Structure 1
Amino acid sequence: MSDRIVRPARWERRYEVSVLCCDLLCLALANLIVAVGYHPTAGLADGQRVAVLVVCTVVTVLSISVQKVWDRRILGSGLEEYRRIVRAYLYAVAAAAILAYSLGADQARAYIFGALPLALVLTLAARKVLRIMVLRARRHGRYLRSVLVVGNAEEIHELVSRTNGSEESGWKVEGVCLAPVPEEDAPPVPRGSPVAIDDVPVLGTDADIIRVTEVHKFDAVALLPSDRCSCARMRKLERELEGVGVDLLVAPVLIDVVGPRLYISPLAGLPLLQMSAPRYSGPVWVVKNIVDRVFALLILVVISPVLVFVAAAIRLDGPGPVLLRHDRVGRDGRTFAMYAFRGDLESRWLGRFLRRHSVDELPELFNVVGGDMALVGPRTPVGSEPVRYGDGGGARRLVVKPGFTGLWRIGGRNNLSWEEAARADLRYIENWSFAMDLSILCRTFGVVVRGDRTY
């Protein structure tokens, strides 16, 4: 077996270079704007200002490096990528401010509190544009990593259904190696191994991983939980895959828990995956409640002409109420009245437009202001739906307020099965953060404007 290191694909190397150049260009452009804007005649001639500019740039680049903003594993990932960028610039501002104060450089304020925040905004915008370009390429089958999945059939089916066809994952599962079923769990009638799982070919068992990987040139191997997934076996597999230049991806047992709740906690040299308990109350949720209400009120003020126009159009369309009342189940199982514009209109064009672009749901913002709903949250259940939740964790959806939007809306809404929608709700509740809310709101705007995947 030849000794090889894991090398990124050609498109990944190009993307890394593009990201690095864009980040440095944004920082330089922000510094130039502040230097020329604040001091148009002597901005670049004063020695002290040049020194401040160089120090701020060096501090920022060091902070970006320390926060691993250029780590190949998070490039184009979205939330985690943006979170690291924001954290890096916050640390850079704090470090530069302390340094400037200790040296008595009063002229540094313009660069620290002007150029660095501007560079942050430009960097986030540039990263967003680059990510959109990558997602667009992935929709056409490019910029994808070829992945071999190893595990039990049930877990493989769930992973394939989530990743294949989703440009966000950056994966393309192109092969499967099945872990043998223990004898005590084997079916009473012997059956042959399936030739494919969700149209992905079964290429062997978990004993054939290295051979299959070398033959089919996979970029990564994803190892799912199984009875044969022991520490010694995983360590051996990691060494063997390192020898053929392939990444090993290990899925935790709780695959729906990600983000700030999950982190590595070392214990006596052994890395443990620590999961903090979710919290559904406290100061952070109070702040979320206030932000939701204030932001919903601002949206209502901005779109008030639209609401008046739609109400008048519905009234002129024909007899019937402008608003329809629906009974929905909110937090802790409490029932509340949710209102929406009437969409069953005589004018098919108008009714189709209202539903396609979710205009008929805009009155729900009044429920957000009133406190019955959140701006972002799980899907609003109807009166009888909680009976179906059972003991599988679905009841947890009732511990928070339902949302005007959420993962269920940007993920396909009417195209989702009940189980998929429930899983999206639980994933939001388990991993909620302000950054997630902001991301969902931004994506909701795009989905609603385009009118796709919502009707």
Structure 2
Amino acid sequence: MMTPQYRDEAVVGVSDYYSKVIKQKETRSFTMYSFLKRTIDILGSIFGLIMLSPLLIIIAIIIKWEDPKGSVFFYQTRVGKNEKPFRIYKFRSMCSDAEEKLKDLLDKNEVSGAMFKMKDDPRITKVGKFIRRTSIDELPQLFNVLRGEMSLVGPRPPSSREVNEYTKYDKKRLSVTPGCTGLWQVSGRSNLSFKEMVELDLAYIEKKCIWFDIKIILKTVITVISPKGAY
């Protein structure tokens, strides 16, 4: 008959074995998810850039026509996975000196928390209002996806100024690669508070899987067609 000591050791041994098996399965599952996600990012960004190239050229021409002295693209340092900074690409939707004018508008912020949003932002150009409402200004981020700095789906990449105001809890959203679209973008966007955005991002990180990403991408198409909460 097995003594209590040996019985306890046997139970611990079985428990350790199953813990190792579970960890190995989780590791394989995560590796497969990461591989498939990156594959979809590469193929999706290449396909998008090719198919949308006529639109990208037209928008670039219109932006330059409205403001010949300004640049077509807007570059800004954003914070990515594990707080690693990178340069994000967007179509310029604001006046050339938008960053300098921001400090005079911070007290007019219409969302709470470490994020600036203003519905009638005076810095936005005429073309900018259209491309922001339809999210066309975000399309150059496909280059960021191709470079591996962003994913098609993931949390919105914040600016350094925003991250400086983050709590330790808020920074959990920086544990994954940021995305062009995400759960926040298809759940109300600017109509949601910063706290709600963080909760949605953490819910995505907890639930993330390829099918969930595909579902968000399909919802993004609907959101672009009917852009509610975009400004």
Shared fold (TM-score, shorter chain, > 0.5):
yes
Letter in 2 for 1:431: K
TM-score in terms of structure 1 length: 0.37
- What is the DSSP-based 3-state SS (H/G/I as helix, E as strand, rest coil) of the residue aligned with 2:74? strand
Alignment correspondent of 1:432: 208
- 5 Å-filtered alignment, 1:259-274, equals none
Structure 1 pair 278–359 and aligned structure 2 pair: CA distance change class (3 A) = farther
Per-residue CA distance 1:367-386 (angstroms, 9 max, x = gap): 00110000000111111333
Contact kept, 8 Å, 1:329 with 1:383, in 2: the verdict is yes
Contact kept, 8 Å, 2:78 with 2:158, in 1: the verdict is yes
Residue 386 of structure 1 pairs with residue 135 of structure 2 = no
Deviation at 1:321, TM superposition (A): 0.6
Alignment correspondent of 1:360: 137
- 5 Å-filtered alignment, 1:219-298, equals 281-298=30-47
- What is the DSSP-based 3-state SS (H/G/I as helix, E as strand, rest coil) of the residue aligned with 1:407? coil
TM-score in terms of structure 2 length: 0.71
Structure 1 pair 348–372 and aligned structure 2 pair: CA distance change class (3 A) = closer
Alignment correspondent of 1:324: 74
Deviation at 1:387, TM superposition (A): 3.9
Alignment correspondent of 1:300: 49
Q: Percent identity?
A: 36
Residue 441 of structure 1 pairs with residue 217 of structure 2 = yes
Contact kept, 8 Å, 2:86 with 2:149, in 1: the verdict is yes
Residue 375 of structure 1 pairs with residue 131 of structure 2 = no
Structure 1 pair 281–415 and aligned structure 2 pair: CA distance change class (3 A) = same
Residue 414 of structure 1 pairs with residue 190 of structure 2 = yes
Report the Cα distance in structure 1 between the residues aligned to 2:160 and 2:226, rounded to whole angstroms: 31
Deviation at 1:348, TM superposition (A): 4.9
Structure 1 pair 387–302 and aligned structure 2 pair: CA distance change class (3 A) = same
Deviation at 1:278, TM superposition (A): 7.7
Per-residue CA distance 1:78-121 (angstroms, 9 max, x = gap): xxxxxxxxxxxxxxxxxxxxxxxxxxxxxxxxxxxxxxxxxxxx
Report the Cα distance in structure 2 between the residues aligned to 1:374 and 1:359, rounded to whole angstroms: 17
Which of 91, 95, 98 aligns to 1:341? It is: 91
Letter in 1 for 2:156: R
Deviation at 1:424, TM superposition (A): 0.6
Deviation at 1:344, TM superposition (A): 2.3
Report the Cα distance in structure 2 between the residues aligned to 1:405 and 1:347, rounded to whole angstroms: 21
Which of 350, 354, 358 aligns to 2:127? It is: 350
Letter in 1 for 2:191: N
Query: Structure 2: any 5+ residue segments left out of the alignment?
Result: 1-22, 96-122
Deviation at 1:350, TM superposition (A): 2.2
- What is the DSSP-based 3-state SS (H/G/I as helix, E as strand, rest coil) of the residue aligned with 2:75? strand
Letter in 1 for 2:40: V
Report the Cα distance in structure 1 between the residues aligned to 2:75 and 2:210, rounded to whole angstroms: 30
Report the Cα distance in structure 2 between the residues aligned to 1:299 and 1:378, rounded to whole angstroms: 20
Alignment correspondent of 1:404: 180
Report the Cα distance in structure 1 between the residues aligned to 2:26 and 2:216, rounded to whole angstroms: 20
Deviation at 1:353, TM superposition (A): 0.8
Q: RCO greater where, 1 or 2, for CA within 8 Å and sep 6 or more?
A: 2
Contact kept, 8 Å, 2:33 with 2:210, in 1: the verdict is no
Report the Cα distance in structure 1 between the residues aligned to 2:48 and 2:192, rounded to whole angstroms: 28
Letter in 2 for 1:398: L
Contact kept, 8 Å, 1:447 with 1:453, in 2: the verdict is no
Structure 1 pair 416–287 and aligned structure 2 pair: CA distance change class (3 A) = same
Structure 1 pair 397–281 and aligned structure 2 pair: CA distance change class (3 A) = farther
Contact kept, 8 Å, 2:184 with 2:201, in 1: the verdict is yes
Contact kept, 8 Å, 2:93 with 2:124, in 1: the verdict is no
- What is the DSSP-based 3-state SS (H/G/I as helix, E as strand, rest coil) of the residue aligned with 1:410? coil
Deviation at 1:349, TM superposition (A): 3.9
Aligned residues: 180
Which of 58, 81, 87 aligns to 1:309? It is: 58
Larger relative strand fraction: 1
Structure 1 pair 327–281 and aligned structure 2 pair: CA distance change class (3 A) = farther
Letter in 1 for 2:37: K
Larger-Rg structure = 1
Contact kept, 8 Å, 1:317 with 1:347, in 2: the verdict is no
